[in-house]
Structure 1
Amino acid sequence: MRTVTVVGASLSGLHAARELRAQGFDGRLVIVGEEPHRPYDRPPLSKDFLTGRTGEEQLALTDAEETAHLDAEWLLGVRARCLDARGRAVLLGDGRTVSTDGVIIATGAAARRLPGDPLAGVHTLRTLDDARALRADLAAGPRRIVVIGGGFIGAETASSCARLGHTVTVVEAAPLPLLPQLGPRMAAVCAALHRRGGVELIAGTGVAGLRGSGTVTGVRLADGRTLPADVVVVGIGARPRTDWLDGSTLALHDGVLCDDGCVTALPQVVAVGDVARVGGTRAEHWTSATEQPRVAVANLLAGRTRETFRPLPYFWSDQYGTRIQFAGRYRDGDTVQVTEGDFTDGLPGEDGFLARYERDRRTVAVLGVDRPRAFTRARRELQRDLRQQEERGRAEQAVL
């Protein structure tokens, strides 16, 4: 393999490039990125960058020394147009063709938008340019802000806007924010954090549309109400960036379908990060983007699936000065017990708390709220138990 092309110059693409060099690939390395920026850290965009406590220079994930070490060709500000698997090439939007032996797909995901004509004052928050535009709107003075969606991006953005002194309302279609991830009892904690932070939460109703001519003036709710708004932030999830792969014969379904080793059905093509559906699951989390590339690169260089990637799901979120950490998988019917710390009136106490989710008398997930040491310990225990269960399963299968 003489040339490997990484399509996507964000977190997972950068880690894939690092892994290629770390695992001994010394050939031509090409990194294609649609954005004009070198890789940068996205989590601060909705937090410290939005509030002005972090500058753009602090977001950079690479420096001059590492750039020289990677010895890569950076093709930035140009999107991949299609993948020619038969001809072993990546075709770019500017007409260029990159001939390649191996491809790592790391194109990530794009923010979902509301239907209709775009209006000034309506934002998504996925990229550095998105964050720049929103920060400029927020700097123009006190604003009435409506955040559509109470997920991670929505909640963190609402928290930052409230910190800046704006009047903020969050609209969430589900009965509680983060209900699918945390379950009703712990999702109620997130709802309480909004209220404690001075943000109005309207849950259990959707958005019918936006009002305004050229510039947004309000948000129409499905129940008939209209919320006045100077700025609207749409945080209703993301879609995997697979449009450029249409017609490539790759299997696509809410992402690029891969086996447990990030390997696709096409020879010498692997996928990592938000765009990859690995073993039936697509995870839009920082940890997946940083951990998947090691296995994906090992299998790409080997030409087959030699290693697999089955991590314990993990995410964190910072809202209203509170750190929320979760590991594992929640299902309806799981019981939740607060095992450490203070949990009173639906809010964490001064020292936070740790909660364990149980199913069939086994711990299947843990939640930490401002309890980082206890959470880290519980997460390690959960990871160890998961490995032991997998080893027992393999041993039983071998006997059969």
Structure 2
Amino acid sequence: MSGNELLTPGPDVATELSAPAPGSALQIPPGGTMQQVRGSYSTAVQVQQPRNINGVQTAVLAEARMAGETFYYGWGAGKNLIEGGSIGLAMAMARCWGNCAIETLPVQDTADAWIFTTAFVDLESGCTVSRQFRQSKRSVVYGKHDEERKDDMRFAIGQSKAARNVILSALPKWLKDQAIAHAKRGVREKIEKYINTNGLPGAIEVLMKALKKEGISEDQVLAKFEIASISGMGVDQLVVLRGDLMAIQEGQESVGNLFPDLEGEALSTELQAKLAKKRKAAAAEAPSAESQQQPTTEPEQSAAKGDDYDSQDEKEFRSNYYEAILGATTTKQVEGYRQRAEKAQKDEEISSDTLKAVMGYCADRIEAIKKKSGK
């Protein structure tokens, strides 16, 4: 059969199949069933329930909203931060896609790694995609396990990643991107609900404690987002960290893959020194009368404008706070941002000018919230 081998049939299995006409699907005799065909490609077959792409999309996005942080994680740092789908997302997409199979071919066992070759077969369209994944036998496995158990875990991780990679490669990228966005939206809603009750500082504290239990330092978190202080984190960063934490806890990824190593400490120190240097330079030069009287035109210029205002890091801090405060829906949330800004200024992480700007944002937002609620 053109290089294909039909496995030995059982009872009621079609053993004689006529070659399909060009452009038509392979037909199965009434009452018969199709067994697996092994070869370099798969012929499209007629299925009982053809795929409905709109139904697939609806099902995937519904699962993503409920699955939340189990469907994504991020790696890299700063502008190089990349988000990807988890094995949970990949399996959900394959399940909702339907009429497909994921096949693992014989594993290549080398001295220092296992090489997995996994194929995704779309039975309905006949499309077959294969990918290889190399899993190192020396990869770090956390936890108090003996070496044999660690090898089992390494092998299982490699097998999962091979399946994840081929599924996400074969299925539409737009579907994966939409699923990750919906998963993050569900997590954001949970975080915002928690913040409404406990404030943003409380949410950050809880998450940082959970990360610390997994061996992740504050400096590694700072390096991942290229920020100078934990107080500079917002909901967006918390959403990413929730996905990272879940991936690590479930053994899908390691701390080393998702967070920078000890270089994170140097990066954090560099950012802190940069801010301190610019604050010192600003303090040495008093703002001119013209700059004090100049009218403000941007939202982040609601406070008095000093020389320190031109600091790129200070501008980013104010911009992040402005967006976060603008999105606050309760005065308690706004108060949490105000307290964090005061602490950041006390710890000399931001200048007094930036603190004044944040106080202005907070006052404006509180007034807007009270007007909206009629209080």
Whether these two folds match at TM > 0.5 is: no
TM-score between both structures, scaled by the size of structure 2: 0.21
TM-score between both structures, scaled by the size of structure 1: 0.20
Higher strand share: 1
